[in-house]
């Protein structure tokens, strides 16, 4: 999938210069046990970049930190990183993130922000004390309580119990969190939660609060399902209707989880693949922590209509997905790892598949968001073949990895994989044991798109997502029907195959011939990358003029594009049903129109 990952990489490149800017530092303020130092690292006239550095100058570990300051009227923070920054008028507060709150003696941590205005901070406070060394930060936060245990589960209630937390000044009470939101504060180490829906999954954690009202880290999570049958009807039809949601889409594309609601798409899908987690050193890891779980949403931006607060345990896309699942209980969410850019780590992962699987489960079951994810999706491009990099781990590696994931995650989690659709003789499907791996997986997302595109700058023009072969197709085996047929022949059940749909087009420029097979001079101009454009743009800028191989194409001026339309999607869904496929998936939500017409076509076509 060239399109999706080059777009992400390009966006990261745009951000790098800002992270590297350095300017003049101004003197700061300090404390007996810790110091907080401010520097204006860049000033570009209409705004500036500021940085605070917190250093532990004492002899005991600091478990959390909060820096407060005042800006003069007209000066404010516009964005921040490596801390959660909020304000009340001109008073600003920065609190550590979950990963950078602990400072050993002598250690330091910095966070930064972009601002507008010309003022400088005054009235600095660090953990409630002065930053200039005349007072010390507050006492240590309490430890995490034990992971709750559940008992007495009924249709509408559950009793929770946990082991006590510890604190140097004493524990005052405990916050009980259901699906990340506080539902009670109690002074004992047990609580009965009632008023629940029957046949429904919940996740519970607990955090302690000390006598200074400091909260400690959240406990491990316990997953609970109330008894009785769910009252929520299943989604229409019995087919999988899955869409990819991109982590980086919240930036330049300005596409957020709430768009699934406003477009009407959430009611018409069954599954979401959240993409992408990274694969580093043979381990699963979160990629962009800010987008994933730190970005704060205002009330009008959030699915629930409630604004994020500075001290809530989870924000960002993960919290928005949690809210989406509360609103649409039929939706299941999988965490997808790899993709075009991050597939280079899978070879090392396969060398110790059990350790890799264990690391993935630790990420998916992180207590801060354990209730958000219902499974894992592996997007290895490509096992024993070449994508952005070439893999030489052998034909059995993919099966080995799939087996380890199923063994680690068990039967209660979904385990799926996005795979190649190259059905050419000796091509990528032949390079790995997809037939043998299928027994461990719930389904394959067969990437039946990106067959042809303007990486072949002079053409010939051809649809990037042909359903079937046609006279003059540039390469045999490069079509959806051939890929599905080859996977079936290798023993993959039809019900475990999902047909892939691209919510974008690929195109060339310098084309004079309207029919496929014409010559070109290079890629057509695209919003985010040359040769690629969203359907929502193409439907108006270059309307379809014909179809070939079951996919639409368009010739407008000197540009030639191919893309799927509601009409071609309807035909592809009819074909998928005739083949007994398990459903369809698409890359990705933000390419659709504001009213979700392509999602509607998939939903309607699979009924």
CATH code for position 53: 2.60.40.290
* Cβ partners under 8 Å of residue 405, min gap 6: 353, 357, 360, 376, 378, 415, 440
The predicted structure's pLDDT at residue 227: 87
**Residue 104, in any domain of the structure:** yes
Alpha helix ranges (H) inside 374-520? 397-409, 428-431, 434-437, 480-489
The mean pLDDT value for 510-535 works out to 97
The mean pLDDT value for 523-535 works out to 97
C-beta separation of 565 from 544 below 8 A:
yes
Q: What is the tens place of the pLDDT at every residue in 74-131? A: 899 988 888 888 888 889 899 998 778 888 888 889 998 988 888 889 889 988 887 7
Band of pLDDT at residue 496, cut at 50, 70 and 90: very high
Nearest to 214 by CA among 280, 317, 306, 142: 142
Q: What is the tens place of the pLDDT at every residue in 555-580? A: 999 999 999 999 999 999 999 999 99
Report the side by side order of strands in the sheet with 201-210.
Answer: 181-186, 171-178, 201-210, 222-225
CATH number of residue 215's parent domain: 2.60.40.10
CA distance 559 to 578: 35
**Residue 509, in any domain of the structure:** no
The predicted structure's pLDDT at residue 10: 33
The predicted structure's pLDDT at residue 231: 42
Check 49, 381, 533, 597 and give the catalytic one.
381
**Residue 541, in any domain of the structure:** no
Which range marks the domain in which residue 162 is found?
149-225
Q: What is the tens place of the pLDDT at every residue in 25-78? A: 333 333 347 889 898 888 877 778 889 999 888 888 888 889 999 999 889 998
Chosen domain end from 198, 225, 252: 225
The more confidently predicted of residues 78 and 586 is 586
403 and 358 belong to one structural domain: yes
CATH number of residue 300's parent domain: 3.20.20.80
CA distance 81 to 50: 11
The overall average pLDDT reported for the chain is: 89
**Residue 138, in any domain of the structure:** no
**Residue 9, in any domain of the structure:** no
- The helix or strand, by DSSP H or E, that contains position 569, with its residue range, turns out to be helix 566-578
Q: Where are the beta strands (DSSP E) in 105-189?
A: 108-116, 122-126, 129-130, 149-151, 158-161, 171-178, 181-186
Q: What is the tens place of the pLDDT at every residue in 393-448? A: 999 999 999 999 999 999 999 999 999 999 999 999 999 999 999 999 999 999 99
Q: What is the tens place of the pLDDT at every residue in 442-474? A: 999 999 999 999 999 999 999 999 999 999 999
Q: Is the pLDDT of residue 384 over 60?
A: yes
288 and 368 belong to one structural domain: yes
246 and 360 belong to one structural domain: yes
pLDDT over 70 percentage in the chain: 92
The predicted structure's pLDDT at residue 15: 31
**Residue 4, in any domain of the structure:** no
- The helix or strand, by DSSP H or E, that contains position 10, with its residue range, turns out to be helix 2-19
187 and 247 belong to one structural domain: no
Nearest to 50 by CA among 65, 30, 63, 69: 69
* Cβ partners under 8 Å of residue 510, min gap 6: 519, 520, 521, 522, 558
Chosen domain end from 190, 225, 260: 225
Band of pLDDT at residue 200, cut at 50, 70 and 90: confident
CA distance 498 to 478: 17
Q: Is 390 exposed, middle or buried (0-12, 13-18, 19+ CB in 10 A)?
A: exposed
255 and 175 belong to one structural domain: no
pLDDT over 90 percentage in the chain: 68
**Residue 546, in any domain of the structure:** no
CA distance 199 to 232: 9
The predicted structure's pLDDT at residue 30: 32
Q: Is the pLDDT of residue 358 over 60?
A: yes
Record the tokens describing residue 358, joined without a space.
């264990």
The predicted structure's pLDDT at residue 156: 87
Q: Supply the DSSP symbol for 534.
A: E
> Can you spell out the DSSP letters for 231-296?
SSPPPSSSSEEEEEEEGGGGSTT---THHHHHTS-GGG-SEEEEEEEEEETTEEE-S-HIIIII--
C-beta separation of 117 from 75 below 8 A:
yes
329 and 181 belong to one structural domain: no
How crowded is residue 229: how many other Cβ atoms within 10 Å of its Cβ? 8
275 and 310 belong to one structural domain: yes
381 is catalytic: yes
102 and 159 belong to one structural domain: no
CA distance 109 to 100: 7
The model's pTM: 0.68
Which of 299-313, 353-367, 502-516 shows the lowest mean pLDDT across its residues? 299-313
CA distance 246 to 367: 22
Record the tokens describing residue 489, joined without a space.
């022949």
Band of pLDDT at residue 237, cut at 50, 70 and 90: low
160 and 210 belong to one structural domain: yes
The predicted structure's pLDDT at residue 397: 97
Answer whether the bond into residue 253 is a cis peptide, omega within 30°. no
**Residue 248, in any domain of the structure:** yes
Chosen domain end from 99, 130, 161: 130
215 and 256 belong to one structural domain: no
Instruction: Give the chain's domain count.
Output: 3
CA distance 262 to 375: 25
The more confidently predicted of residues 376 and 130 is 376
387 and 331 belong to one structural domain: yes
36 and 107 belong to one structural domain: yes
Record the tokens describing residue 592, joined without a space.
């659709």
Band of pLDDT at residue 132, cut at 50, 70 and 90: low
What is the Rg, in whole angstroms, of the alpha carbon atoms belonging to the chain? Answer: 26
C-beta separation of 34 from 101 below 8 A:
no
């Amino acid at each position: 999938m060239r399109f999706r990952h080059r777009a992400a990489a390009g966006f990261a490149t745009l951000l790098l210069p800002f992270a590297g800017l350095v300017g003049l530092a101004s003197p700061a303020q300090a404390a007996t046990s810790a110091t907080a130092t401010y520097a204006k690292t860049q000033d570009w006239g209409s705004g500036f970049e500021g940085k605070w550095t917190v250093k532990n100058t004492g002899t005991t570990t600091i478990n959390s930190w909060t820096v407060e300051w005042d800006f003069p009227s007209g000066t404010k923070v516009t964005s921040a990183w490596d801390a959660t920054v909020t304000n009340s008028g001109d008073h600003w507060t920065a609190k550590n993130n979950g990963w950078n709150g602990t400072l050993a003696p002598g250690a330091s941590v910095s966070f930064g922000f972009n601002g507008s205005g010309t003022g400088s901070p005054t009235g600095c406070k660090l953990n409630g004390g002065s930053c200039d060394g005349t007072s010390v930060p507050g006492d240590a936060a309490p430890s995490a309580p034990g992971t709750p245990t559940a008992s007495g589960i009924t249709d509408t209630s559950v009793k929770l119990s946990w082991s006590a937390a510890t604190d140097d000044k004493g524990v005052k009470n405990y916050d009980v969190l259901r699906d990340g939101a506080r539902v009670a504060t109690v002074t004992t180490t047990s609580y009965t939660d009632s008023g629940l829906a029957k046949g429904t999954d919940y996740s519970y954690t607990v955090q302690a609060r000390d006598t200074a009202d400091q909260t400690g880290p959240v406990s491990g999570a316990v997953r609970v399902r109330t008894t009785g049958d769910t009252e929520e009807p299943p989604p229409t039809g019995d087919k999988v209707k899955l869409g990819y949601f991109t982590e980086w889409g919240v930036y330049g594309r300005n596409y957020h989880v709430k768009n699934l609601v406003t477009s009407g798409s959430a009611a018409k899908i069954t599954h979401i693949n959240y993409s992408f987690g990274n694969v580093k050193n043979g381990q699963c890891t979160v990629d962009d922590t800010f987008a994933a779980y730190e970005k704060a949403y205002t009330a009008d931006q959030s699915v629930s209509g409630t604004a994020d607060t500075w001290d809530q345990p989870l924000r960002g896309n993960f919290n928005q997905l949690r809210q989406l699942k509360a609103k649409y209980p039929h939706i299941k969410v999988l965490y997808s790892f790899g993709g075009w850019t991050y597939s280079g780590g899978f070879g090392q992962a396969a060398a110790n598949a059990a350790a890799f699987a264990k690391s993935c489960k630790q990420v998916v079951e992180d207590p801060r968001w354990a209730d958000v994810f219902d499974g894992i999706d592996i997007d290895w491009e490509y096992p024993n073949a070449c994508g952005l990099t070439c893999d030489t781990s052998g034909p059995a590696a993919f099966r080995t990895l799939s087996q380890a994931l199923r063994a680690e995650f068990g039967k209660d989690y979904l385990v799926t994989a996005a795979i190649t659709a190259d059905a050419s003789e000796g091509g990528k499907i032949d390079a790995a044991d997809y037939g043998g791996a299928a027994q461990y997986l719930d389904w394959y997302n067969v990437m039946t798109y990106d067959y042809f595109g303007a990486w072949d700058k002079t053409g010939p023009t051809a649809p990037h997502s042909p359903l079937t072969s046609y006279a003059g197709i540039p390469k045999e085996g490069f079509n959806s029907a051939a890929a599905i047929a080859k996977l079936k022949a290798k023993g993959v059940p039809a019900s475990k195959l999902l047909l892939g749909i691209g919510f974008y087009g690929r195109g060339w420029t310098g084309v004079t011939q309207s029919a496929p097979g014409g010559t070109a001079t290079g890629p057509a101009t695209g919003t985010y990358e040359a040769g690629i454009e969203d359907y929502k743009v193409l439907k108006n800028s270059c309307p379809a003029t014909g179809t070939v191989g079951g996919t639409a194409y368009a010739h407008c001026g000197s540009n030639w594009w191919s893309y799927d339309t509601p009409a071609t999607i309807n035909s592809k869904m009819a074909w998928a049903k005739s083949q007994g496929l398990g459903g369809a998936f698409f890359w990705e939500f933000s390419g659709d129109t504001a009213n979700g017409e392509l999602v509607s076509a998939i939903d309607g076509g699979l009924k």
